[in-house]
Structure 1
Amino acid sequence: MSACNRIRFVLVGTQHPGNIGAAARAMKTMGLSRLVLVAPEKPLDEAAYRRSAGAEDVLGDAPVLPTLAEAVADCRLVLGCTARARRVALEELLPADAAARAVQRAGEPAEVAVVFGRERTGLSNDELQLCHVAVHIPSDPAFSSLNLAAAVQVLAYELRLAQLAGVPAPAPEPGFREQVASHAQLEGLFGQLGDTLDEIDFHKGRAPESAMRKLRRLFLKAELSEQEVRLLRGILSDAQRMARLAASGSA
C-alpha cells in the first residue's frame, strides 16, 4: 500500500453538496481517493455527482460520520486546515511542509487525516483542538477566502509532489520501536486528565480551558507511544483513587 492510501481527506459540516463533488474531483486528479464526510448539512445529490466529473467512486466510497473525533480516531497525525489564527495554540505549517510530514508519517506506516471545515466559518475551536497541527494556505490577505475545493486542491497537489519526491520514511530506531498513540487513545488520556485535575481541585476555581489547551499541546509535541499513554493513564487512575479516598475520609 502506498503512503497516500493511508491519507484521508475529512470534510466537516460541508454546506453545499456540489462542493463535496468538486473536492472529490480535486483529490482524484492527484491520486487520492479516501474521502470522509462529517455531519454534512445536506446529503450528496445530483450536483455533487455532476461536479465530481469522473470521481463518482470517491463520493460513493465516502463514509458519513457524525463527529470529527470518530472520523480521525485511528489516526496518528491530524492536520487541520484553517484560514486564520485562533485561540487554539497549534504548530502551524505551510502546505508543502504539512504534505511532507503527512507522507512521511503515512510511510511509517500510520493513518493520517487532513481536515477541512465549513465553507463560511471553517473549523471551530473545539474541532481544531482535535488536530495535532494547523495548516495555513498563505493566500493574499486582501482576498484570502478560498473555495473549499480550491483548498483541497492545494493540499492534494502538495501531497502529490511530496509523494513523487519520495519523502523518506523515518529510519528505524535500534531495537523495538513503540507504536505512536492513536487519536482516540490520546483523547482518552486528555479526557481522564481533565477529570483528574477536577477531582484534585487543580484549577482552584479558575476556568480549566487554558490549562488543558497547554497540556494538550505539551503531550502532542511529545508524540506519546501507546505504552506511554497506558503508563500515564495508570498514574492518573491512582491519583483519582487517592482523591476519592481523601474525599470520602473528609465527608
Structure 2
Amino acid sequence: MRTRFILIQTSHAGNVGAAARAMRTMGFDDLVLVAPRWANVLRREETIQRASGALDVLARARIVDTLDEALDGITHLCATAMVPRDFGPPTRSPREHLGPLAQQQDQHVAFLFGSERFGMRNEDVYRCHVALSIPTDPDFGSLNLGAAIQVIAYEWRMALGGFAVREATAPAQLADARAVAGMLEHWERSLVKVGFLDPDAPKKLMPRLAQLFNRAQPTPEEIHILRGIAKAMADAAQGGTYKKTPSPVRDEGSP
C-alpha cells in the first residue's frame, strides 16, 4: 500500500528533517514538499542535522509547486487538523480511522500537514476524506510538526501490522536441572551448618526452595552466585572468614 507524507508550505527547515526522521523510523520514505519556504530545503544544514541519518528519505523527497502535483496517484487523503471545521470531512482519531483503512489494500494513502504558522487551509481540508485529530490534553493540544508526523506515522504503521520488538540482549541460557539440584544440595548442607535447617525435622523447607528456584529459572551465572552464597554461609558458620575469589576479568586500564 503506497503511503505518502505531504508537507504544505513548510517554513522551518528543521521540521523537514524531523519529518524525514519520523517517517524513516516507521518504515516510510515517500515525502513531498509543496511550496516550502526554502527552495534548497532538502540540502540545508539544519534539515540534514534534524534528519539524524534519515538521508535516504531526503534523497527521495520531491518538491512541487502545487498540492495537485503532490497528490498524483493518491486515492485516500487524510488531513491533519486540530481546529474543527463547520464544514468538511468527518473528524476522526488516527487509531479509529486508520485501523479499518489498513484493510483496504487497494488504497494509496496520503497524510497532509499544513504550515507551522497557519495549519491547513480550509480548501485543502475539504479535498480530504477525513480530518485526523490527535487526542491530546484539551487544555494543551499544541504539537509541533515533527511530533505530529511521528504520531501519525506510528499509528499508521501499527494499523498496517507494526514491527516486531527486537530484544536488546540475547535470551538468557537457563541452568539445567542437574545444576539446580546440585545448588540445592549445596544450600541444604550450608543451611544445616548455620542452624537454619534441622536435618531431623526438615519439614518442607527444601521442596519449597526447589519450587522457588524452578519458578525463578536461574541461569548458570546465577547458580554460581547462589553456590557462592552457600559457601559463604558455611564458612561463617565454621568461624572462618569468607574470601571472595578474584575475578579473572581485569579492568580495561590494567596493564
Q: Does the alignment reach a TM-score above 0.5?
A: yes
Give the drift of 1:136.
0.5
Q: Does 1:56 align with 2:64?
A: no
Q: Is the 8 A contact 1:38 1:66 kept in 2?
A: yes
Give the drift of 1:34.
0.9
What do the CA deviations read for 1:185-204 (whole angstroms, capped 9, x no partner)?
Answer: xxxxxxxxxxxxxxxxxxxx
| Structure-2 change in CA distance of 1:138 and 1:62 (3 Å) | same
Distance 1:122 1:9 in 2: 15
What code does the residue aligned with 2:5 have?
A: F
Q: Does 1:164 align with 2:144?
A: no
Distance 2:19 2:76 in 1: 21
Q: Is the 8 A contact 1:7 1:102 kept in 2?
A: no
Give the drift of 1:165.
6.2
User: Once structures 1 and 2 are overlaid, which stretch shifts more, 54-63 or 96-105?
Assistant: 96-105
Indicate the structure with greater helix content.
1
Give the drift of 1:82.
0.3
Question: What SS is found at the alignment partner of 1:143?
Answer: coil
Distance 2:55 2:130 in 1: 30
What residue in structure 2 maps to residue 192 of structure 1?
A: none
Distance 1:31 1:99 in 2: 16
User: Once structures 1 and 2 are overlaid, which stretch shifts more, 133-142 or 96-105?
Assistant: 96-105
Count of aligned residue pairs for this structure pair: 160
Q: Is the 8 A contact 1:79 1:98 kept in 2?
A: no
Segments of structure 2 that go 5 or more residues without pairing to the other structure are 164-255
From 22, 25, 31, give the equivalent of 1:29.
Answer: 25
Give the drift of 1:86.
1.7
Q: Is the 8 A contact 2:18 2:50 kept in 1?
A: yes
Distance 1:120 1:77 in 2: 25
Q: Does 1:112 align with 2:109?
A: yes
Q: Is the 8 A contact 2:6 2:112 kept in 1?
A: yes
What code does the residue aligned with 2:82 have?
A: A
Distance 2:87 2:63 in 1: 26
Q: Does 1:17 align with 2:18?
A: no
What residue in structure 1 maps to residue 94 of structure 2?
A: 95
From 123, 127, 132, give the equivalent of 2:129.
Answer: 132
Structure 1 runs (4+) deviating above 4 angstroms are: none
What code does the residue aligned with 1:87 have?
A: D
What residue in structure 2 maps to residue 65 of structure 1?
A: 64
Question: What SS is found at the alignment partner of 1:142?
Answer: coil
Distance 1:131 1:145 in 2: 22
Q: Is the 8 A contact 2:98 2:159 kept in 1?
A: yes
Q: Is the 8 A contact 1:69 1:130 kept in 2?
A: no
TM-score, structure 1 normalization: 0.61
Give the drift of 1:160.
1.3
Q: Percent identity over the alignment?
A: 43
Distance 1:46 1:165 in 2: 32
Q: Is the 8 A contact 1:25 1:51 kept in 2?
A: yes
Question: What SS is found at the alignment partner of 2:111?
Answer: strand
What code does the residue aligned with 1:24 have?
A: A
Q: Is the 8 A contact 1:22 1:149 kept in 2?
A: yes
What code does the residue aligned with 2:136 have?
A: S
What residue in structure 1 maps to residue 77 of structure 2?
A: 78
- Compute the RMSD of aligned alpha carbons: 1.6
Distance 1:98 1:69 in 2: 24
Distance 2:162 2:62 in 1: 30
User: Once structures 1 and 2 are overlaid, which stretch shifts more, 142-151 or 157-166?
Assistant: 157-166
What do the CA deviations read for 1:19-52 (whole angstroms, capped 9, x no partner)?
Answer: 0100110111111111111111113111001100
What code does the residue aligned with 1:163 have?
A: L
What code does the residue aligned with 2:31 have?
A: L
Point out the structure with max Rg over C-alpha: 2
| Structure-2 change in CA distance of 1:138 and 1:55 (3 Å) | same
Task: Report matched runs for 1:85-234 at 5 Å.
Answer: 85-105=84-104, 107-108=105-106, 110-164=107-161
Give the drift of 1:57.
1.0
Of the two structures, which has the highest relative contact order with CA contacts closer than 8 Å and spacing of 6 or more? 1
